[in-house]
Amino acid sequence: MDEIEAWHELYVMLGGSAAVLIGLLFVAVSMHPAFFTMERFGHVRSAAVQALMGYVLVFIISICFLIPAQPRLWLGVELALIGIANIARLLKIASELPGADLSRGPTRLEWGLIFVSAGVSSLVLLAAGIGIAATDMTALIYVVPFVSLWLLINSIWISWELVLRVRDTSP
C-alpha cells in the first residue's frame, strides 16, 4: 500500500466532516442574513468567511489525498499552493480590519489568535507541501492531518463564537 493511500479513511472522514460543517455554517449564517450583510459588521462577515475557509481548506486537502494514484510531487505542489492561497487571503482580511466596529464579533485579541493560528497552519502546509514535492521526506505526510485537524478545530471555535454573539442580537 502506498503511503498516501494509507491515509484514505482518515481523509474520507475529514472531508465528510468539513462538508457537513460547511452546511451547518450556511444554516447559521442564513438565520441572521441582515447581520452578516451590514457594512459596519464586515469583520463579523470576515470571521464567518474565515471559519468557512477553514472548512473548505480541510475539504480540499482531503480531496488532494483522495485522488487515486496521484504522484507525491503533485500532492506536494497542491498542498503548497493551498498554503500560499490561504496566506494571501489572510493578508487581504488583515487589510480590511483596521477601523472595524468590533462591538460584535471577534475582539482584536481573538482576531490575533485567528490570524496566528491560520497563518501558522498555512505556513506548515506550505512547508510540508514543498518538502513532499521536492524531497523524499515522506514523514511530512504525517504533518498534514494535524494541520487539517487544527483547521477544523479553529473553524469550529470561530463558528461557535459567531453563533453565541449573533444569536440574540439584532443589527
pLDDT tens-place string over residues 23-56? 998 888 888 787 777 776 677 777 888 899 999 9
Enumerate the domain spans of the chain: 5-166
Angstrom distance (rounded) from CA 124 to CA 80: 9
pLDDT in tens, the chain (171 residues): 477 788 889 999 999 999 999 999 888 888 878 777 777 667 777 788 889 999 999 999 999 999 998 888 999 999 999 999 999 988 887 776 666 555 656 667 777 788 888 889 999 999 999 999 888 777 788 899 999 999 999 999 888 888 877 765 555
CB 84 within 8 A of CB 126: yes
Q: Which three cell numbers stand for residue 70?
A: 496521484
Angstrom distance (rounded) from CA 61 to CA 81: 11
Burial class (CB in 10 A: 0-12, 13-18, 19+), 9: exposed
